[in-house]
Chains A and B, each alone.
Chain A
Amino acid sequence: MIWVDTILQGVLLGGLYALFAAGLSLVFGIMRLVNLAHGDLIVFGAYLILIVVSVLGLHPFLAAFIAAPVMFVFGWVLQKAVLNRTLGDDILPPLLVTFGLSIVIQNGLLEAFSADSQRISMGPLETASVSIGPISAGVLPLLTFGSAVLVIVALNRLFYRTAIGRAFRATSDDPTTASLMGIRPDRVFATATAIAMLVVTIAALYLGTRANFDPNVGPARLIYAFEAVIIGGLGSLWGTLAGGIIIGVAQTVGAAINPEWQILAGHVAFLVVLLVRPRGLFPRGN
Chain B
Amino acid sequence: MVLLETHGLTARYGDFQALFGVDARLEAGETVAIIGANGAGKTTLMRSITGVLRNAAEQIRHKGVEIGHLPADTIMKRGIAMVPEGRKLFPSLSVEENLIIGGQNKRGRDLGDRIDSMIARLTGAPDPMELSAGHDGVGYWTLETIYDLFPILKERRHSPGTALSGGQQQMVAIGRALMSNPDVLLCDEISLGLAPVVIRDIYAALPKIRESGASVIVVEQDIGQAMAVADRVYCMMEGRVTLQGRPSDISRDDIHAAYFGEAA
Q: Give chain A residues whose Cβ lies under 8 Å from the Cβ of B88.
A: 174, 177
A162 to chain B, nearest CB (A): 10
Q: Are B112 and A187 in contact (CB under 8 A)?
A: yes
> In whole angstroms, how far apart are the Cα atoms of A74 and B155 in the complex?
44
Q: Give chain A residues whose Cβ lies under 8 Å from the Cβ of B176.
A: 181
Q: Are A187 and B101 in contact (CB under 8 A)?
A: no
Q: Does A114 make an interface contact (CB < 8 A)?
A: no
Q: Give chain A residues whose Cβ lies under 8 Å from the Cβ of B76.
A: 179-182
B112 to chain A, nearest CB (A): 5
Q: Are B90 and A183 in contact (CB under 8 A)?
A: no
Q: Give chain B residues whose Cβ lies under 8 Å from the Cβ of A184.
A: 71, 73, 112, 116
The listed residue with most B CB atoms (<10 A of its CB), out of A163, A166, A167, A177, is A177
Q: Does B108 make an interface contact (CB < 8 A)?
A: yes
Of all chain A residues, which has the CB nearest B76? A182
Q: Which of B82, B97, B106, B108 contacts A166 (CB 8 A)?
A: B97
Q: Does B165 make an interface contact (CB < 8 A)?
A: no
B76 to chain A, nearest CB (A): 4
Q: Give chain A residues whose Cβ lies under 8 Å from the Cβ of B64.
A: none
Q: Does B100 make an interface contact (CB < 8 A)?
A: yes
Q: Give chain B residues whose Cβ lies under 8 Å from the Cβ of A182.
A: 73, 76-77, 104-106, 108, 180
Cβ contacts B88-114/A at 8 Å (1 or 0 each): 101111000100111011101000100
Q: Does B52 make an interface contact (CB < 8 A)?
A: yes
> In whole angstroms, how far apart are the Cα atoms of A123 and B85 in the complex?
62
> In whole angstroms, how far apart are the Cα atoms of A170 and B105 in the complex?
13
Q: Does B167 make an interface contact (CB < 8 A)?
A: no
Interface residues in A159-208 (C-beta closer than 8 Å to B)? 163, 166-167, 169-170, 172-174, 176-184, 187, 191
Q: Interface SS of chain A: helix, strand, loop or mixed?
A: helix
Q: Does B72 make an interface contact (CB < 8 A)?
A: yes
Q: Are B101 and A170 in contact (CB under 8 A)?
A: yes
Q: Give chain A residues whose Cβ lies under 8 Å from the Cβ of B97.
A: 166
Q: Which of B50, B93, B100, B108 contacts A180 (CB 8 A)?
A: B50
Interface residues in B48-89 (C-beta closer than 8 Å to A)? 50-52, 71-73, 76-77, 81-82, 84, 88
Q: Does A133 make an interface contact (CB < 8 A)?
A: no
> In whole angstroms, how far apart are the Cα atoms of A180 and B116 in the complex?
17
Q: Which of A181, A183, A191, A285 contacts B92 (CB 8 A)?
A: A285
Q: Which of B71, B73, B93 contacts A169 (CB 8 A)?
A: B93
Contact A170-B84, Cβ < 8 Å, known A179-B73, A180-B72: no
Q: Give chain A residues whose Cβ lies under 8 Å from the Cβ of B50.
A: 180
Q: Are B84 and A177 in contact (CB under 8 A)?
A: yes
Q: Are B73 and A166 in contact (CB under 8 A)?
A: no
B44 to chain A, nearest CB (A): 14
> In whole angstroms, how far apart are the Cα atoms of A258 and B248 in the complex?
89
The listed residue with most A CB atoms (<10 A of its CB), out of B77, B91, B92, is B92
Binding site for B on A (CB under 8 A): 163, 166-167, 169-170, 172-174, 176-184, 187, 191, 285
Known A176-B72, A179-B76, A180-B76; 16 more pairs at CB < 8 Å? A169-B93, A170-B90, A170-B93, A170-B101, A172-B92, A173-B90, A173-B91, A177-B90, A180-B84, A181-B102, A181-B104, A182-B73, A182-B106, A182-B108, A182-B180, A184-B112
The contact sample of 11 A-B pairs, CB cut-off 8 A, is A166-B100, A166-B101, A167-B101, A167-B104, A169-B90, A173-B91, A178-B90, A181-B73, A182-B104, A182-B106, A184-B116
